[in-house]
Structures are given as structure tokens and as C-alpha cells.
Structure 1
Amino acid sequence: MSATDRSAPPTPGNRPNPARWLVVAVPYLWLFLLFLVPFVIVIKISLSLTAIAQPPYTPVFDLAGGIGGLIDGISEFTVENYLWLTEDALYARAYLSSLTIALVSTALVLLVGYPIAYGMARAPKGLQPTLLMLIILPFWTSFLIRVYAWIGILKKEGLLNQLLLWIGVISEPLTILNTNTAVYIGIVYSYLPFMVLPLYAALERMDRTLLEAAADLGCPPIRAFWKITFPLSLPGVIAGCFLVFIPVTGEFVIPDLLGGSDTLMIGKTLWAEFFANRDWPLASAVAVVLLVILVVPIVLFQNHEMKRAEREA
């Protein structure tokens, strides 16, 4: 290469684009400030010891002490809170119960949401915006108020029991409130839009000529659904299941308001440790373990999907 070529200015295609770097940097900066930094703080608290002070844990780093103060604080870290989680069966039962309720709730939301999304995708184009608005409409009301409304519906003298008594389905009021059944009802109602929206997006983009071709080849509608429609909607199913399962696992409001004393979920346990027991280090350890339980399977699934896509390519 000649000296002239080396001194030539970069071509427009090779010239660094500040806007491109900014677009990439902003999401990473957002994740760093609003996820990584708070998570590191929670980990730091989980490695501390409970103290009757403000804040209620030690060590608290003394920045005035410089590097020596930071090293002294780190040396006081302990894994005692994590060991306590393995010794007390309450936390294991809370994790297991939360995962069970989240799995069952996700399956119920999928069973209810898939027909709704399918009907929206097959509706006339002019009607779809209205149907989409009806799905989004509950978000205009406070989540807490919507959950409180279910108390008036599900209690013994509530609207549901009055309706069932009036039409003669039951002879005495049912006990629904303060049970796991009420929790499932509240979760399905509250998280249904999170399942319907990604399913609708996947089904609405589907090429309907594939179904017409299947019908021309003699494929029954039900078989065509399982062979064509459902496989093509799997990205929406997976996205909807993640959007429902992850927040439901740590749900606190619904089990606290609609569930009973037998409803054990990790969200209620976290609240009790933070605000009732004032044991921030133990509560932080519970939160860290919960995040690991949720994040690790998601990362493994994403890696599997990336490898599968590379093999298919």
C-alpha cells in the first residue's frame, strides 16, 4: 500500500457514525444504571449483617475512609444469610409454591388468551383496532383498584355468589375469597393482556395462504391449526409466557389481597422480611436467589434458541 493510500480519508461507509454508537450505548447505559447498579447494591446488603441502626445492616461503607475503608467493609461480608435460606424450610416452600402458582397461572392465562388472540387476528381489519383497545383498556385503571374490585366480586355476599344463587346454580354462597382459587382468578384477569398482545402480534402476521393451501390439499381445519397456525405462533406463545411467568413468580399484591393464610408466595415473604422483621440482609438474599432462579433458565433458553437458529441457518 502506498503512502497516498494510507493517508487517504476514510470512505463514508467506513467513517465512524456517532449516532450509531449512541443508539447502542443508551440501552446499555439504561441497564447499567437501573438494573446492574441496584442489583449490586442488593447483593452488597445480602452479604451484610442485620443491625439495629439506620440503615438496618452492617457494614456500611465509609467513603471518607478511602480505599482502606472499602477493604475493611468488604472483609466484613458474610454468606450467613444465604446459609440461613437453606436451613429454614419456609423459604424453600415459598419458592416452590411461587413457581407452582406461576406455572399454573401461566398455563391458565395461555388457555384463556390464545382463543382471544386468535379471534382478534381473524376478525375483520376494521374491527381489530377496537378489539385491541378493549384489551388495553384495563391498563387505564390502577392495578390496585382492579384487584380490590375482585374482593367485592368474590366475597360470600359478593356479585358472583349473588348471581349464582339467583340463577339457581348453588344453594349457599361459595367460599372463594382468601383461597388459591381467588389468587388464580386475579392473576388470570390481571395478566391476560400480557399474553394476548404478543400472541395477537404473532397470529396477525401469519400468512393465511398457508391455511388455504392446506385446505386445498385436504387437510382438516383442526389438523391445519396444529400443523401450521400453532407452530407459527410459538414466538408469541413463548414471549407471552415469559411476560406472565416472571412477574407472577414475585407477585405480592394479588396473593396478599385475594389469598388466604395458606397462600405462600415469595413476594409475601419478601415483604414480611423487609417491613415486618426489618431484616434487610435476609430479604436481599431472598431477592437475589429469586432473580437467579428466574434469570438462569431464561439465559439458557436464549442460548439454546440462538444455537438452534445458527444450525438452521
Structure 2
Amino acid sequence: MSTRDGWIRAPTLPARWRSALLLVPLLVLDVGVFLVPMGYLLRLSFTAQTPDGAFVEGSWATDGYQYVFETGLVHDVFGFTLGFGVLVTALSVAIGTAYAYAAWQATGWTKTVLLSGAVLSLFTTMVVKLFAVVLVFSPRGVVNDLLTGLGVVAEPLLLIDNLTGAVLAQLYIVVPYAILSVYAVLSTLDRGLVEAALDLGATRQRAAREVVLPHARPGIAVAGVVSFTWSVGAYAGPLLLGSGSEQTTGVLISRLLLTRFDWPAAAALSVVTIVVVFAVLLAALWRLGGDGGLLDA
């Protein structure tokens, strides 16, 4: 439309349409990166198995799901994966919360060093992290040399190529995310509330338990979600630092794809794993929301 000065002004859209247009790039990204691959994975899980190739093109079958639900090895691997995820999540949340609290309490260079340690860890590739775990915790690594040198143990401890190694490797991966999740929430806490609790006679332990922890609850919940999701999908840690017994669904899926070329079974196991993880996370978030924690924060 024309104006008095001769310029043409483009028609303006209502505010709600402008807001909707801002969501278009996000929707396109979600569809292209998440929905399309997940849809293909779901379709692949319903194809027929064949010894001559990955799967039968254009077929519809439940061979993959029959393998998942009827094979004892899959049940054992799935049970270990869930237990491994719970164990790593509990340790990661505990370590991350304690570390974040220490960083929140610290000042000056101490705070800078603590936060830098967590952040810089994210800039290191996963392979480098895992080989660092090997160098630190191997029988001739830094930890064992220190323990034997101080006379704490007579023989080096076996801390890798077993469940301990797999857990340590996964903790190296997920703990920095747990630390930053909790610290991000703690940084919004008014220190005056803690001082008020101390002035009213509370000990520092009680103030931390009744003032700091309730405030940090949303961050702790996020740390738990991130740690559990990463740990249930663990692949590199259990494969490189665990033994053959520490086999997660990620390791089994890889073997089904690359060794047995059983794509329907691998896809079906992937779908079942995703469904179980989402169910556990939704139940946890619903529980936290029902208590007035995460969803109200």
C-alpha cells in the first residue's frame, strides 16, 4: 500500500502469526532431524529378516520384535543397561550436586578453577576422555601408582576392563553436564536466605538440606534426566573400558547392525529402548511435578 511520501509499506501480520512464523525454523529442524529419522527407524523395525542382506525391502513383519521379546540375551542386556543407567545417574547426580554446591560457595579464583574444570571437560572429545580414564585408572596408571606408593594397597587395583571401568568412563562423560545443570539453578539462589537460616539457629548442614537443596531441585532433576538418558544409551564407555560382560543395548545394537547384519532386530531394540527411556523420564517428571518441584519451578 502507498503512503504520503510515496513509499510502499508491506502489510503487517497479526502478532500471533508473527510468533507462529518464528517457530517454523524450529519445526523444520525437528521434523528433519528427529521425526523423519525416527519414522524411518520405526518402519525399519517392522521389516522382515533375511540372511542375504540387511532386511527385505518393502516387507512388513514383526521378526525384529520377536527377537527382542523372545531372546534371553536381549533381556539380560536390557536389564544390565537399566541398572547401569540407574547406578551412573545416582553417582553423577551426587557428585554433580556436591561439586556445584562447592563451586557456588567458593569465591574468587577457587570458583573460577572449579567452573573451568567442568566447562573445559566439555571441550574434550569423548575418545580423548576415555583414553584419559585408561591412563589414570589402569593397573600402572596414576591412581594405582599413588596408592601403591603410599602403601595403601599392596597390589594395583583392577579399575578398568570391568564394571568399575565402565562406570568411571560414563561418569567422565555425564558428570560435567550434571554439575552445570545444578550450578545454573544454584546461581539464582539468594544467599540472604541461607544467612537468614543460619541467624535463626540452623546449622550449615541443615541450611543446605532445607534451603539449598529444595531450591536446586529443578537442576538436580535435569542432571538426572541427562545422566540417565546418556547412560542408557552408553556405547563407547562400556565398550572401551568394560569387559564383555558389561554389554549395553547400544553395544548389542551395534553388533546386530555391523556383525550379524540384522537390521530389523537392531531397529526394534532401538525403538523399545527409546520407548522405555521416555516412559521412565515421563514418570520421573510427572512425580516431580506432582510434588510441586520441577514443573512449578
Q: Match for residue 67 of structure 1?
A: none
Cα 1:183–1:47 change in 2 (3 A) is: same
Structure 2 unmatched ranges of 5 or more: 1-11
| Equivalent residue for 2:254, pick from 255, 267, 271 | 271
Instruction: Name the residue aligned to 1:66.
Output: none
1:234-253 equivalence runs, <5 A: 234-253=217-236
What is the match of residue 59 of structure 1?
57
* One-letter amino acid of the structure 2 residue matched with residue 286 of structure 1: L
Which letter maps to 1:32? V
Shift of residue 164 of structure 1? 1.7
- Structure 1 range deviating more: 233-242 or 107-116: 107-116
- Provide the C-alpha distance between the structure 2 equivalents of 1:95 and 1:292, rounded to a whole number of angstroms: 13
Paired residue for 1:200?
183
2:106 pairs with one of 98, 101, 123? 123
Q: Which amino acid aligns with 2:279?
A: V
Runs of 5+ in structure 1 lacking a partner?
A: 1-11, 61-75
Aligned pairs for 1:1-313 within 5 A:
15-16=14-15, 18-51=17-50, 56-60=54-58, 76-124=59-107, 128-303=111-286
Q: Are the equivalent residues in 1 in contact too, given 2:289–2:296 (CA < 8 A)?
A: no
Aligned-pair identity in percent equals 24
Aligned counterparts of 1:205 and 1:126: Cα–Cα separation in 2: 20
Give 1:148's aligned amino acid.
F
Compute the TM-score of the two structures, normalised by the length of structure 2. Answer: 0.87
Distance in 1, matches of 2:122 and 2:251, equals 24
Q: Which whole-Å CA distance do the structure 2 matches of 1:303 and 1:229 have between them?
A: 22
Residue type of the alignment partner of 1:46: S
RMSD: 2.5
Larger-gyration structure (1/2): 1
Matches of 1:171 and 1:126 in 2, distance apart? 38
Tell me the alpha carbon deviations over residues 240-260 of structure 1, each in whole angstroms, 9 at most, x when there is no partner.
111111011011100011001
Secondary structure, aligned partner of 1:102: helix
- In structure 2, relative to structure 1, the CA distance for the partners of 1:205 and 1:277 (3 Å cut) is same
Determine the C-alpha separation between the residues in 1 that align with 2:289 and 2:204. Answer: 32
